[in-house]
Chain A
Amino acid sequence: TLLAASGDGDSIKVFVRVRPLTQGTGLTTDGDQSLCLMVTSPSTIRLLSKPEPRTFTYDHVADMDTSQDAVFNSVAKNIVESCINGYNGTIFAYGQTGSGKTFTMLGPSELDNFTDELRGVIPRSFEYLFFLINQEVERSPKSKRFLCKCSFIEIYNEQIYDLLDTASASLFLRENIKKGVFVEGAVEKFVSSAPEAYQVLSMGWRNRRVASTSMNRESSRSHAVFTMTLESKETINEVVNIRMSQLNLVDLAGSERQKDTHTEGSRLKEASSINRSLMCLGQVIMALVDVSNGKNRHICYRDSKLTFLLRDSLGGNAKTYIIANVHPGSKCFGETLSTLHFAQRAKLIKNKAVINEDTQGNVR
C-alpha cells in the first residue's frame, strides 16, 4: 500500500477525500454544478483560486469515485495492525458540515447492515481488528488472550460528557503514571466482536449534540471520541506479558464551528458582555511569551480538552491519520480552503522531545 511506502518517519499522515456533488440533501451547494477544485494526482489537489490556482500536497488525495474499501485500506488498515502490536493509533475526521465526514467514518446514516459496500472506516476497522485478534488467538490458543473495552465521549464547550451514560454530569480528564491520560468515570463496555462494538458506537452516536445553524442544516457542534482499549496477555513459560494499546476514532465538530481555535487569524477578541471580564487578554499575552530563546516559562492557560486527551496522538509515538473531507462545490470554496490549510498545518505538528541538555563546553 501507499502507507507502507511512505515509511514510519512521520507520525501524522493526512488523507484528503473529495465527496461527490449532491442533490437534494439540503446543502447550500444544491444545484450548483461548478467545481472549485481538481484532483491532479493521488497526492495533489488543485484549488481553483483567483488569480492563480493553488496546488496542495498530502499523503493521499482521494477523488469523488474512491470506494470506502480503498479509504479503509489507505487510512486504517495499517493503524489497526499496529494496535494489535501494542501501538496506539488515532484517526481524525475533519471538515465542513456536509463534506462527508460521517459517510467516511460510519457510512450511510440509515445503515445497520455490516456487509454493505458503503459501510465506513469505523465498521471496517472493527471487523479487521477482530479478524486479527481471532487470527492471533488461533495461532497460539493457549498462551494469548485479548480484552477489548470501548468508551465514547463528547467534548462540547470544553466540557466532557459520556455518550454511553447521558445521565452523568460532565467528567474530568486525569492522568495516571501507568494509564496515561483518561476520562475519569467514563463508562467502559466490554466487547468481544465487531457487531458488539458497532452497537456501542451507534448507541452513543444517537446521543450526540447536534443543532441546526444559521445556514439551516444539521451540524455537529461537539467533538466525539470513540476509544477502544485493547489489552493483550501473553503467557510464555509462566511469564505474563501484558500489552495495552488504544485505537481512537475522532469525529471533530464541523470545521465551521471551530472559529474559536486556530482558524481565527487576526480577529480581535472582544470584551465580554460582563464588564469585568477581559478573559482573552491572557491569550494575547500568551502569544507574546516566547519559547524560542530557550527560557523556561509556564503558561497558565491550558490546552483544549481535546488536544490534552489526544496529545499522545499529536506527534507522540502513536500512529495518526487525519482524514480531511472537502466538498468540491464552488460555493464551498472558503471552507474548503480553510480545511486544506488546516490539513497542511496538521502535517507540521510534532511533539518535540526537548532534552534538557547542558550545551557544549562541558566535555572534560
Chain B
Amino acid sequence: MASLNSDEWRAICDKFTNALRLTDTESRNDPENDPFRSKYNARELLREIYCSLKSFEGGDGEEETGPDSSNQPPPEQPVDGQREDAFTQGFCGDSPEGMRAAKLGAVEYYLGVNHVETEELSAGQEHLMNCMKLLDRCRVSSENVSLGIHVRNQLGILWAGRDETETAQGFLETAESIYQQYMKEDGTPPTDMTEYFSAEESMLTHQERTKKFELAYTHTMYYLAQVYQNLGQTERAATYCHSTLQRQLQLNQFNPMEWALNAATLSQYYITKGRYMEGRHCLAAATVISGLAGDAPSEAAAQESKHLCDRERERREHLRQKRAEIARCWIKYCLNLMQDAKKLLEDNIGELDTDRQDELKRERRRQEEEEEKGRKTTLLFGSEDTFDSITSVEEKVLCLIPLDFTEARAVFLVGQNYVTQAKEYFQMDGYVTDHIEILQDHSALFQGLAFFEEDLERRCKMHKRRVDMLEPICNDLNSQYYLLIRRQLMFELAEIYNEMMDLKLTLANSQTDSQSLDNHTIKKCNHLCAASAKHYQMFLDSMCSPDGKSPEHLEEEVLRPALVARFRVARLHSKLISSLPTVQLDNLNKSLENYKYVVQYCETHPEAAAAAETELELSKEMVGLLPLKINRIKARMAANN
C-alpha cells in the first residue's frame, strides 16, 4: 500500500487551507464580471487533493467507487431514508478504511459545495452524493458525524431549490436523527471536517469542536423550519423556528438585535394562534436580548448624536427603530388579549355578560393550578444569565385573558406604556403611516377597556379620548396619499360618536323618569348624533367620483362598511330631536332616503344582501314605516296652517 510521506501530506494540507481561504475570503473580492474566479481556483486545488488521496492511499484495490469509476451502478434514487443501521454496520469510523472514506468524503463535500455555489447544480449533487456513499460504508462515529450532517444540510438546500421539498425533507430529517442518536450514544465533541487536513498542532479544542458541530445542527433546524413552512406545516415550522432561536441563544451564536426581532415576530405567530403564554415569553426574551445590542439611546441622546459620525448615528437610529418595532409587537399582544376578552365576555348586544364572567373566573382558578405544569412543558428561552431577566419582564403583564376591569386596566396600562415608547421613534413627522397605526391601536386599547367600565359617564370619557387622538389627524391627513387610512379613521370616528350618543341617551333615560329630556341633554345628543352622521357621510363621500356621484358598484372590501354607514346615517337622522316640524320632516326624509338606498342596492346587487343581513331587514321595515310617520307630520303641519 503506497502511502504519503509527511512532505506530501504537508503539501495536501497547505492546498486544503488555500482552497478554504479562496472560497471563504478571497471570493468576496472577485470582480463583477468574473464572479467565481476564486471559487474556480479553489476547485482546482480540491481536485488535486482528491487525485493525490486516490493515488497514494487507494492501494487496497478491491472496490473503487470514485466519481471516475466506469463500473458504477446506475444512480440510485437520491432519497436518504432513515438508516437504522448507521450506528451498527460498516467500517469503524476510526479504522484506516473509515478515516480514508471520511477524508475522501470531505473533499467530495467541498467539491460539491463549490459546484453548487458556482451554479453547476447537477455536478454539485453528484459530488455530494459521492460523499454520502463514502460515509455510508462506515458507522457513524465522532470522526464522521459532523461531515454526515453537513452533507445532508447541503443536499437539503439543493433539493429544496428544485422544488423537491419532500426529498429535501428526507435528508434534513436524517441529519436531525443522526445528531440526536449520536448525542445519546456517544456525545463526545466530534472531529470537524477541516481537521482531516490539519497538522497535529492545529487541531481544534474540544470547545471549538462542539461549537462547530452544534452550529451545523442549528442550521439543520433552520432549514427544517423552512421546509415545513414550504410544506404548509405551520405549527411544525413554528416549533423549529423556536428551537433554532433557543439553540442560538444557548450556544451564544446570535446577533442580538436580529435575534430579538425574530423572537418578536414569532410572538406574533403565537398571538394569532391565541397562545399568549408563548407569545409573552417570546416578547420578554426579545426585550431582554435587544438590550444586549447596545445602549438604548433616548430622544435627547439622539439629538446629541448629531455630532457623531454618520455610521454611528445610523447604527443608533437602527437600534431605536428596532426597539420601537418590538414595542409595537407588545402593543399587539395587549390589544389581542383585550379583544379576546371582549369576544369571550360580551352578550348579544355587546355588553358584559356577568354570568359568563363568573363562570370564566371559576374556570380560571382551576387553570391557575395547572399553569405550573403547563409551563414546564413549554419550550422556554434563556441561557443561564438571561433567564431571570426574561422572567421578570414576563411578570409585568398577564398572559391570561383579563376577566374584570382591574385586570383589563393592568393590560391596558402596559399596552399604553408601549404606545408611548413606540411613538417616541415613530413620530408623525417622518412616519405617518406607522404613527397612525400606533394611535389606532391606542384607540382600540381604550375601546377594550371601556367595555369593562361600568360607570357610563366614565366610559363616555374614554371614548372621548379616542376622538381626541383621532379626529385632528383625520382632518389634517392628505386624502390623496392617505385615502385608505382616512377611510378607516372616518369610520372609526363615526362609530365612536355613535357609541357616545347611545351612552348619553341611556344615561339620560335612566336619570329621568319621563321621556322628556332637558335642553342641555338634547343639545348634547344632537351634537353627537350629527358628528357621527357627518363622519359616516365623509366615509361614503370618499368613494364618490370627482363629480360627486356615488359608485354604482361597491368594491368587495368596502361593501359592508358602505351599507352599514348608509344604515347608520338613516338611523342617526331619525334619532335627531327637534320640536320644529319642518326640521323633523327634513330629518325623516333623509333617513328614509338612506334606508331606501340600502334596500335598493341589495335589490340590484343580490350578492350584497348577505353582507348586511340585519341592516337590510331593518331597512326594509323602516322603508315601510317611515312614510306613515312622515305623512302624519305633514298632516299635522297642514292642520296647523
Contacts and interface: CB of A to CB of B under 8 A. Distances in A.
Interface string A4-18: 000001000000000
A296 B441 contact: yes
B262 A362 contact: no
A299 B484 contact: no
Contacts of B234: 288, 290
Interface in B145-177: 156-157, 160-161, 163, 165, 168
Contact of B478 (A179, A270, A278, A363): A179
Contacts of B328: 298, 300
Most chain A CB inside 10 Å of its own CB: which residue of B227, B331, B484, B561: B484
Contacts of A360: 614
A268 B168 contact: yes
Nearest to A285: B265
Contact of A276 (B254, B264, B491): B254
B213 to A, nearest CB: 13
B244 A281 contact: yes
B265 A300 contact: yes
Given A268-B161, A268-B168, A212 B241 contact: no
Nearest to A271: B219
A39 B222 CA distance: 45
A301 B265 contact: yes
A164 B121 CA distance: 42
A86 interface: yes
B558 A282 contact: no
A357 B478 contact: no
B508 to A, nearest CB: 15
Contact of A288 (B156, B269, B492): B269
B511 interface: no
A261 interface: no
B156 A268 contact: yes
Contact of B258 (A177, A277, A288, A362): A277
B223 A268 contact: yes
Contacts of A176: 429-430, 432
A276 B615 CA distance: 57
Interface stretch (A129-137, A319-327, A347-355): A347-355
Given A179-B478, A277-B258, A357-B495, A289 B35 contact: no
Contacts of B138: none
A266 B163 contact: yes
Nearest to B615: A363
Contacts of A266: 160-161, 163, 165, 230
B348 A181 contact: no
Nearest to B325: A300
B268 interface: yes
B557 A353 contact: yes
A235 B428 CA distance: 31
A78 B12 CA distance: 69
B590 to A, nearest CB: 19
Interface stretch (B194-202, B332-340, B601-609): B332-340
A345 interface: no
B255 to A, nearest CB: 5
Contacts of A86: 480
B310 interface: yes
B261 interface: yes
Contacts of B229: 284, 287-288
Contacts of A214: 35, 119
B253 interface: yes
Contacts of B557: 350, 352-354
Nearest to B33: A212
Contacts of B487: 353, 355
A284 B223 CA distance: 10
Given A177-B428, A355-B491, A289 B433 contact: no
Contacts of B615: 363
Given A214-B35, A363-B615, A364-B349, A355 B488 contact: yes
A289 B534 CA distance: 37
A211 B34 CA distance: 11
Interface in B293-336: 310, 322, 325-326, 328-329, 331-332, 335-336
A356 B269 contact: no
Contacts of B546: 85
Contact of A278 (B227, B230, B248): B248
A293 B273 CA distance: 9
Nearest to A292: B272
A180 B476 CA distance: 12
A256 to B, nearest CB: 13
Contact of A300 (B160, B329, B441): B329
B432 to A, nearest CB: 4
A298 B495 contact: no
Interface in A284-316: 284-290, 293, 295-301, 312, 316
B165 to A, nearest CB: 6
B226 A269 contact: yes
Contacts of A334: none
B269 A177 contact: no
A358 interface: yes
Interface string B469-482: 00001001110111
Nearest to A264: B161
A268 B618 contact: no
Nearest to A174: B430
Interface string B417-461: 000000000001111110000001100100000000000000000
Given A177-B432, A284-B237, A356 B268 contact: no
B24 interface: yes
Contacts of A87: 480
Nearest to B502: A364
A356 B481 contact: no
Given A88-B480, A180-B480, A285 B272 contact: no
Given A212-B33, A364-B349, A364-B502, A265 B272 contact: no
Given A180-B482, A298-B328, A356-B491, A175 B430 contact: yes
B40 to A, nearest CB: 13
B336 A177 contact: no
Interface in B233-260: 234, 237-238, 241, 244-245, 248, 253-255, 258
B364 interface: no
A37 to B, nearest CB: 23
A230 B86 CA distance: 72
A281 B262 contact: yes
Contacts of B350: 358, 361-362
B215 interface: yes
Nearest to A360: B614
B265 A356 contact: no
Contacts of A362: 349-350
B560 to A, nearest CB: 7
Interface in A185-231: 211-212, 214
B385 interface: no
Interface of B: 24, 32-33, 35, 119, 156-157, 160-161, 163, 165, 168, 215, 218-219, 222-223, 225-227, 229-230, 234, 237-238, 241, 244-245, 248, 253-255, 258, 261-262, 264-266, 268-269, 271-272, 310, 322, 325-326, 328-329, 331-332, 335-336, 339, 348-350, 428-433, 440-441, 444, 473, 476-478, 480-484, 487-488, 491-492, 495, 502, 546, 553, 555, 557-558, 560-561, 564, 614-615, 618
28 contacts: A86-B480, A88-B480, A169-B310, A176-B432, A180-B481, A212-B32, A214-B35, A266-B161, A266-B230, A268-B168, A269-B226, A273-B24, A275-B215, A276-B254, A278-B218, A278-B258, A278-B262, A279-B258, A281-B225, A284-B241, A285-B241, A285-B262, A297-B329, A298-B331, A298-B332, A300-B322, A353-B484, A355-B487
Given A354-B557, A362-B350, 17 more contacts: A169-B310, A178-B478, A179-B478, A214-B119, A265-B163, A269-B226, A276-B254, A281-B245, A288-B234, A289-B265, A289-B272, A297-B272, A297-B332, A301-B265, A312-B481, A353-B483, A353-B558
Lowest 5 A-B CB distances belong to which pairs?
Answer: A180-B481, A175-B432, A355-B561, A297-B268, A300-B325
